[in-house]
A and B are shown apart, each in its own frame.
Chain A
Amino acid sequence: MPEGVGTLHELRAALDAGETSSVEIVGQCLRRAEASQDTLNAFVGLRAEAALREAEESDTRRERGEVRSPIDGLPLAIKDNMVQTSEPAHCASRILEGFISPYTATAVEGLERSGAIVIGRTNMDEFAMGSSTEHSVNGPTRNPWDADRTPGGSSGGSAAAVAARIVPAALGSDTGGSIRQPASFCGVVGMKPTYGRVSRWGLVAFASSLDQIGAFAQTAADCAWIFEAIAGHDSRDSTSIPEPAPAYSGALSGDVSGLRIGLPKEYFVEDGVDAGILAAVRDSVAELERAGAKTVEVSLPHARYAVATYYAIANAEASSNLARFDGVRYGHRAVGAKGLTEMYCRTRSEGFGTEVKRRILLGTYFLSAGYYDAYYRKAQQVRTLVRRDFERAFEACDALITPTSPETAFRLGEKTSDPLTMYLSDIYTVSANLAGIPALSMPCGSVGGLPVGLQIFGSALDEATPLRIADAFQAITDHHTACPGDFA
Chain B
Amino acid sequence: MARINRAEVERVAFLARISLSDGEADQLVQEFDSFLGYIETIQEVDTEGVEPTAHPVSLPTPTRPDRPAAAMDAGLAVANAPETAASGFLVPKVIGTEAEG
Which residues of chain A have a CB within 8 Å of any CB of chain B?
98-100, 102, 194-196, 209, 235, 238-242, 302, 304-305, 307-309, 311-312, 319, 323, 326-333, 337-346, 348-349, 352, 357-358, 360-362, 364-365, 368, 374-375, 377-385, 387, 419-420, 434-436, 460
Contact = CB atoms under 8 A, between A and B. Distances in A.
A331 B80 contact: yes
Interface in B1-41: 4, 8-9, 12-20, 28, 31-32, 34-35, 38-41
A337 B92 CA distance: 8
Contacts of A333: 82-83
Q: Which 10 A-B pairs have the closest CB atoms?
A: A436-B56, A380-B52, A330-B80, A339-B95, A381-B47, A333-B82, A345-B19, A344-B17, A195-B56, A383-B53
B85 interface: no
Main secondary structure of the interface of A (DSSP, over half): helix
A326 B17 contact: yes
B70 interface: no
B71 interface: no
Contacts of A385: 45, 47, 50
Contact of A460 (B52, B57, B60): B57
A420 B35 contact: yes
Contacts of B41: 304-305, 308
Contacts of A309: 42
Interface string B58-96: 011010100000001000101111110000010111111
Nearest to B56: A436
For the side of the interface on B, what is the size category? 35 or more
Most B CB contacts (10 A, CB to CB) among A99, A240, A379, A387 go to A379
Contacts of A360: 16, 18
B76 A348 contact: no
Contacts of B81: 328-330
Given A196-B56, A381-B47, A357 B95 contact: no
Contacts of A240: 62
28 contacts: A196-B59, A239-B55, A239-B59, A305-B42, A312-B42, A323-B16, A328-B81, A328-B91, A333-B82, A339-B96, A341-B17, A341-B94, A345-B14, A345-B17, A345-B19, A360-B16, A360-B18, A361-B18, A364-B12, A364-B15, A364-B16, A378-B45, A381-B47, A381-B52, A382-B45, A384-B50, A384-B52, A436-B57
